[in-house]
Amino acid sequence: MDRLRKHIEEITPVSDEEFEHVKTFFTLKRIKKHQYLIQEGEQVNFEYLILSGIFRMFYLDHEGKEYIVQFAGENWWMADYQAYFNEKKASLHITCMEDAEILCLTLYGREKLSSDLHKMEHFFRVKLTKGYTAQQRRIISLLSSSPQQRYEEFGQLYPHMMQKIPKKYIAEYLGVSRETLSRLYSNNKGK
Amino acid sequence: MDRLRKHIEEITPVSDEEFEHVKTFFTLKRIKKHQYLIQEGEQVNFEYLILSGIFRMFYLDHEGKEYIVQFAGENWWMADYQAYFNEKKASLHITCMEDAEILCLTLYGREKLSSDLHKMEHFFRVKLTKGYTAQQRRIISLLSSSPQQRYEEFGQLYPHMMQKIPKKYIAEYLGVSRETLSRLYSNNKGK
DNA sequence: TTGCTGGTGTGATTTGGATCACACTTTTTC
DNA sequence: GAAAAAGTGTGATCCAAATCACACCAGCAA
């Protein structure tokens, strides 16, 4: 739980007392590679803060094709927020790509913490702000950049993911076929 | 300013006193069609709540092609948030498509309000939550749907925009060429 | 009236990337 | 450590959408 405190204090300091309270809403879970956190159609009861490991969140279309909404590693939050906030069934899948430890928080917990502690409301607002601008950047990139450029941008933004994640998933994240990405990649080795 | 109060109270009630305080941070502005709110490279000092009128926010690439990040009408907030939150120069343009009245808020104002009034921090968090999930939906749609489907989804989500906004801009929003959109559109008139 | 400017439809041509198909390598699994 | 599963490279083919090109129409301004 130290990790959690450190994570929160990157944004706002909290007293020991306050943290004792915060702590009570989180539960630790260990997840193995290939295990699902959420699957389409399920009730979404939690959001997750990742302490270690890597996950991918994806949408599965009617033909069984995957489209990656987000990768998440250390200190990232993730959930099917659409479902979580509106208490609907999940429309996304989240699966573990590397053994992980995560902290789970219910919607009730999030809202209670936010109303009990102004600080925590602030914390969540700041986090959302960052997520919002990151998503906007991605939208612009999807609209305006070529696969080539998107691939390079991805590498710059998330060098760590670039190393650890199989290319086929990166392709799904970028919105290109595996083959096309492979060709970009090999044509560029030279330069 | 009544409008502002109503808008805030859709999310959280505020006392007269509180609202008096809130009010002081906003300034009203009237904008004419074709007028720019922000242009690339400028300092971003404000975000805007739209009381009436329609705006479009877009990215302009090196070749002068537009890509629409967002349309905004009544009761929408808009700004180049990337720039606003990080106090950088704008990388986007915002321009008025229909005579408008807007309320302007500085970053200082937003942060001051948030820290003075827990309620306002809450208000902004809720707004961001909605924006976040809407953007995520758009990302999924860009990755997984055909132009045809994206066009239909857009019509469902924003029927009002669909009517008022020239098709060429809708094409830019959807990430298709004007011509392709026009063909989808005319091929579908029949059915 | 006579231009402009901005938006729109629609044909012809081109093209980037998807798809299909297969071989090869690496990692997992029991 | 053998078999299966997962990931990758690369050629051949195909196709949806971009691009180019032009005609038309509406609204507005001089």
CA–CA dist A52, A74 (Å, integer):
5
Predicted TM-score (pTM) of this structure = 0.95
Q: Which residues of A touch B125 (CB under 8 A)?
A: 114, 121, 124-125, 128
| pLDDT score, position A72 | 97
CA–CA dist A181, A169 (Å, integer):
10
Strand C protein footprint, C-beta under 7 A: A 33-34, 146-148, 175-177, 179-180; B 166-169, 178-179, 182-183, 185-186
- Separation in Å: D29 C1' and B99 CA: 20
Q: What percentage of chain B has pLDDT greater than the value 70?
A: 97
| pLDDT score, position B188 | 61
CA–CA dist A131, A122 (Å, integer):
14
Q: What percentage of chain B has pLDDT greater than the value 90?
A: 94
Nucleotide closest to residue B97 (CA–C1'):
C6
CA–CA dist B109, A163 (Å, integer):
42
Residues 145-174, chain B: which have Cβ under 7 A from strand D?
146-148
68-97 of B, contacting A, C-beta below 8 A: 68-69, 81-82, 85
| pLDDT score, position A127 | 98
Helix axes B107-116, B16-23, angle to 10 degrees: 160
Mark yes or no for CB contact A82/B142 under 8 Å: no
B180 touches strand D (CB under 7 A): yes
Domains of chain A in start order, with CATH, are: 2-107 (2.60.120.10)
- Separation in Å: D10 C1' and A182 CA: 9
- Separation in Å: C24 C1' and A62 CA: 31
Tens of pLDDT along B34-65? 999 999 999 999 999 999 999 999 999 988 89
Arithmetic mean of pLDDT, B125-136: 97
> Is the confidence at residue B161, as pLDDT, over 80?
yes
CA–CA dist B31, B100 (Å, integer):
5
Provide the pLDDT confidence category of residue B189 given band limits of 50, 70 and 90: very low
Picking from A84, A120, A144 by the largest number of B CB atoms within 10 A of its own CB, the best residue to mutate is A144
If you write DSSP's letter for every residue of A19-66 in order, what string do you get? HHHHHTT-EEEEE-TT-EEE-TTSB--EEEEEEEEEEEEEEE-TT--E
**Shortest distance, CA B191 to any CA of chain A (angstroms):** 23
Task: Name the E strands within B61-137.
Answer: 66-72, 77-78, 93-106
> Is the confidence at residue B191, as pLDDT, over 90?
no
Strand B46-60 relative to strand B66-72: parallel, antiparallel, unpaired? antiparallel
**Shortest distance, CA B138 to any CA of chain A (angstroms):** 8
A69, amino acid identity:
V
| pLDDT, mean of each 10-residue run, chain A (191 residues) | 96 98 97 94 96 96 93 96 96 95 97 98 98 97 96 96 95 97 74 37
User: Does A108 lie at the interface with B, CB-CB under 8 angstroms?
Assistant: no
Q: Is B24 exposed, middle or buried (0-12, 13-18, 19+ CB in 10 A)?
A: exposed
Tens of pLDDT along B71-104? 999 999 999 999 999 999 999 999 999 999 999 9
Mark yes or no for CB contact A139/B81 under 8 Å: no
Nearest-CA neighbor of B174 among B189, B55, B148? B148
Strand A93-106 relative to strand B36-38: parallel, antiparallel, unpaired? unpaired
Q: Is B125 exposed, middle or buried (0-12, 13-18, 19+ CB in 10 A)?
A: buried
